[in-house]
Amino acid sequence: MAIAIRTPAQIERLRTASLAVAKTLRYLQGLCRPGVSLKEIDAAGEEYLRSLGARPSFKGLYGFPAAVCTSVNEVIIHGIPSDYRLQEGDIIGLDLGSEVDGWFGDAAITVGVGTISPGDEALIACARDTLEYAIDIIRVGMRFKELSYAIEEFIKARGFLPLHGFCGHGIGRKPHEEPEIPNYLEHGSPKSGPKIREGMVFCIEPMITQKSSIPQILEDGWSVVSQDGLRGSHYEHTVAIIGGRAEILSKE
Q: What is the pLDDT of residues 140-160, one digit of tens each?
A: 999 999 999 999 999 999 999
| % of residues, the chain, pLDDT over 70 | 100
| Amino acid at residue number 229 | G
Is residue 3 assigned to a domain? no
Domain region containing 25: 8-248
| Amino acid at residue number 164 | H
pLDDT digits (tens, 9 = 90+) for 148-201: 999 999 999 999 999 999 999 999 999 999 999 999 999 889 999 999 999 999
Indicate the pTM of the whole model.
0.97
Task: Inform me whether the pLDDT recorded for 23 exceeds 80.
Answer: yes
What is the rounded distance in angstroms from the CA atom of residue 201 to the CA atom of residue 111?
Answer: 26
Beta strands (DSSP E) in the chain are 55-56, 68-72, 75-77, 91-100, 103-112, 161-162, 167-170, 177-182, 201-204, 207-209, 215-217, 224-226, 233-234, 237-242, 245-248
Average pLDDT, the chain: 97
Tell me, what's the pLDDT at 4?
98
CATH number reported for the structural domain that contains residue 124 in this entry: 3.90.230.10
pLDDT digits (tens, 9 = 90+) for 107-125: 999 999 999 999 999 999 9
Which among 203, 195, 183 is positioned nearest to 248, based on CA atoms? Answer: 203
Is residue 33 assigned to a domain? yes
Is residue 1 assigned to a domain? no
Is residue 100 assigned to a domain? yes
Classified as helix, coil or strand, 148 is helix
Is residue 2 assigned to a domain? no
What are the beta bridge partners of residue 168?
181
Is residue 201 assigned to a domain? yes
175: CB partners within 8 A, 6+ apart: 57, 58, 61, 97, 99, 104, 106
What is the rounded distance in angstroms from the CA atom of residue 234 to the CA atom of residue 232?
Answer: 7
Provide the Cα torsion 152, 89, 71, 86; round to 10°: -170
| The total number of structural domains that make up the chain | 1
pLDDT digits (tens, 9 = 90+) for 35-72: 999 999 999 999 999 999 999 999 999 999 999 999 99
